[in-house]
Amino acid sequence: MILDTLRFITCGSVDDGKSTLIGRILYESKKVFEDQLQALVGDSKNFGTQGDKLDLALLVDGLQAEREQGITIDVAYRYFVTDQRRFIVGDTPGHEQYTRNMATAASTADVAILLVDARKGLQTQTLRHSRIARLMGIRSVALAVNKMDLVDWSERRFNDITLEYRTFAEAIGIDAITAIPVSALNGDNIVSSGSTSDAWYIGPTLMKWLEAIAEPRQTSKLQAFAMPVQWVNRPNADFRGFAGRASSGTVKVGDRVRVSPSGRESSIARIVGGNCELPNASIGQSITIVLNDEIDISRGDVIAAVDTPVEQSNQFEAHLIWMNEHHALPGRSYSIYLHRKAATAQITSLKYRVDINSGASLVAKMLEINEIGVVTLALDRSVPFAPYEQDQTLGSFILIDRLTHETVGAGMILHALRRASNIHQRAFDVTKEIRASAKLQRPRCLWFTGLSGSGKSTIANRLEKQLVAEGRHTYLLDGDNIRHGLNKDLGFTEADRVENIRRVAEVAKLMVDAGLIVLVSFISPFLEDRALARSLFAEGEFLEVFVDAPLSVCEERDAKGLYAKARRGEIKNFTGIDSVYEPPITPELRLHTALISPDEAAQAIFDIL
């Protein structure tokens, strides 16, 4: 018999008994687990897809590594089997600082077991975890009122907690709640019925509830077929298939399909599941599709029914869970992975932060670690998607720091921005190449970065004079001058400085498109922001010039008296004093201006050009 898999999480406040509950379940299921594990690993008939085998293999390997190395992780996953079902359980931490871990586990769970200590009742973390579970799409919750033995199995206490929770949960959209009185320590109502002290309870045990859930939650409300491509399978010249897991609907051999974002159409020639040819496939199956036509398809593209292709957009409004100690700021750019589709995304605005305790929308300029907000995102290309409420596979994404490659955020798409579908890129006959040819030069962006007083503007000014004398067409963008006009509305907070550089980078891009050699002289202290600026330009167009001078030398040159004011506390967020400067790692040119004159520095750049 092929067993389906139910993924669930245990959640709730600290010390409400989550780990004890899982320990009891594993203890009661241990014999079945040991009897069936080897058979499940070795017998492919017990698994419907290769993806299921991979799930189990990863879990078994992880458990073994944990036992051997004594690893403690923030979300501990466990695997067990009964004669009805296979289960994957995530034991999520109760501490507030691990909110991001609970959200990550909930994003892949079908149902949740929410524990409440019968003595304490609902806690702040009980409500917080419920909101996160709802946000992640969980609709079915078992309210396990634990430690009932410590309140003498009081039916009144159980009913009071149940009524309070139902009132709260139904208000936030959790509509399937089963309350069960338990003692995780003693095993009452976990796998077998409770003690004689709870004769008033006639409902299911926790295990019976888990086994009786009709089916794992449907991760898609879409009716038509859609499948994100996970990889292109081409073992030989005669076979080219597109592998993935069906996100929604059903498909059969001969069906017409459309590929997003290219819009190309074809029909299904073959469907392969495991090592077998299949006449059809449906939601949740891992399959390889072979088309009748040669179409350019890459990882992250979506194959869908021809009459109902998935939407495409490059701008979204989304819930964002922030997972990094460096806060999220509008204007910052990250790598985004949306169902295997890679792109570059920028947080264009933070609409509000969600108070996870009350559900209120709060004004905020940034997101700190573990906070959840509603943001708008702009991508560098259109990608196929569906709102998370309609399809969790097509509507979820992660953000990756482009420098450290760390996962910094996870999100759920609410909807595309209307302006994204109404605004289209226009192509004109006069191109950047034609404009540059008319000026007899190669357009470039020379980005001068360094501490205040390092000599950036002085060197840029002398270089521009030299270039103009040679007949070149240039423009100099200086930090102080820009703040008198384009950026006069910005202050010097980290968020404002990020936006300052974003605007200037976009202006510099337009000037390079006009065929100019543009010189940008800005402190631009953050690596991420300079990386964003670089990403706007073609290969070889952006040259980072690090004007390197020690802080002591810059303070000696303090013609504006800024360092002195910063030392006295009269200027806040001053780079080098109370705000960090992140020096370039691999600039195209590094100028040690404590050792060379401005004219020598300008000549060094001129020689490179």
Q: Which residues contact 400 (CB under 8 A, 6 or more apart)?
A: 334, 335, 336, 337, 406, 407, 408
DSSP 8-state class, residue 188: B
Q: Which residues contact 506 (CB under 8 A, 6 or more apart)?
A: 536
**82 in Cβ contact with 29 (< 8 Å):** yes
Residues classed as catalytic = 524
For residues 219 and 205, what is the distance between their CA atoms, to the nearest angstrom? 26
**Can you tell me the distance from the alpha carbon of 182 to that of 12, in angstroms, rounded to the nearest whole number?**
15
Report the C-alpha gap between 143 and 167 in whole angstroms: 13
Whole-Å CA distances, 108 to 46, 102, 216, 313, 388: 22, 11, 11, 25, 13
Q: Which residues contact 413 (CB under 8 A, 6 or more apart)?
A: 316, 317, 318, 385, 386, 387, 388, 395, 396, 397
Q: How far is CA 415 from CA 136, 356, 577, in A?
A: 15, 21, 42
Residue 116's H or E segment, with its range, is strand 111-117
The DSSP bridge pattern shows strands 341-354 and 361-362 to be antiparallel
Report in angstroms the alpha-carbon separations of 510 from 341, 414, 505.
28, 32, 9
Task: Report CA Rg, the chain.
Answer: 29
- The whole-angstrom separation of Cα 584 and Cα 481 is 24
Task: Report the run of H or E that residue 374 belongs to, with start and end.
Answer: strand 372-385
- Measure Cα distances from 213 to 69, 85, 176, 193, 321 in Å: 35, 10, 11, 18, 29
Amino acid letter at 73? I
Return the percent helix, strand and coil in the chain, to nearest 5.
30, 30, 40
SS3 26: helix
CA-to-CA distance for 299 and 297, rounded, in angstroms? 7
Sign of CA dihedral 449, 455, 456, 459: negative
Sign of CA dihedral 575, 576, 581, 583: positive
